[in-house]
Amino acid sequence: MSESKVRLRKAPDEEACVAWYLSKFEYYDWNVGDDDQLRVGDYMRCGKQDHNGHDIDFISGKIVLHHASGIPMFLINLDENEEGDYVGLHDLFMEGYEFARISKQELASEAIHPTQPAEGEKK
């Protein structure tokens, strides 16, 4: 029995497909640029609020193309070589995160990490 190998199919116009995918999301705020359109290479802060409107979680990173699939992803925990961990934009959206475009300098100057639960709250 032969083993099957999964191969990714290239889109006829990959750039248009990436733009289409990113057009499904928008920035609620931006400190850089003049529109709400997400683009590969953007630095971004994601935040969400609890049911009372309190900020409960922030993460920051960069929109990149996944090295294997070419799908736009959010890269977090960036190191000095801009390598890190992939998170799906769709996953963040479905979790209730809102997106804000920031500059590379803002990303570097902010030490944004997910907030710790308040004392007595579950982790």
Q: What is the DSSP secondary-structure string of the chain?
A: -PPP---PPPPTTHHHHHHHHHTT-BEEEESSSSS-B--TT-EEEEEEE-TTS-EEEEEEEEEEE-TTT--EEEEES--TTS--EEE-HHHHHHTT-EEEEE-HHHHHH----PPPPPTTS--
The reply to whether 16 falls in a domain is no
Tell me if 13 is assigned to some domain: no
Tens-level pLDDT at each residue, the chain (123 residues): 556 676 666 667 888 999 999 999 999 988 888 899 999 999 999 999 888 888 888 899 999 999 888 899 999 998 888 899 999 999 999 999 999 999 999 888 875 444 444 444 444
| Structural domain count of the chain | 1
Q: Is residue 91 part of a domain?
A: yes
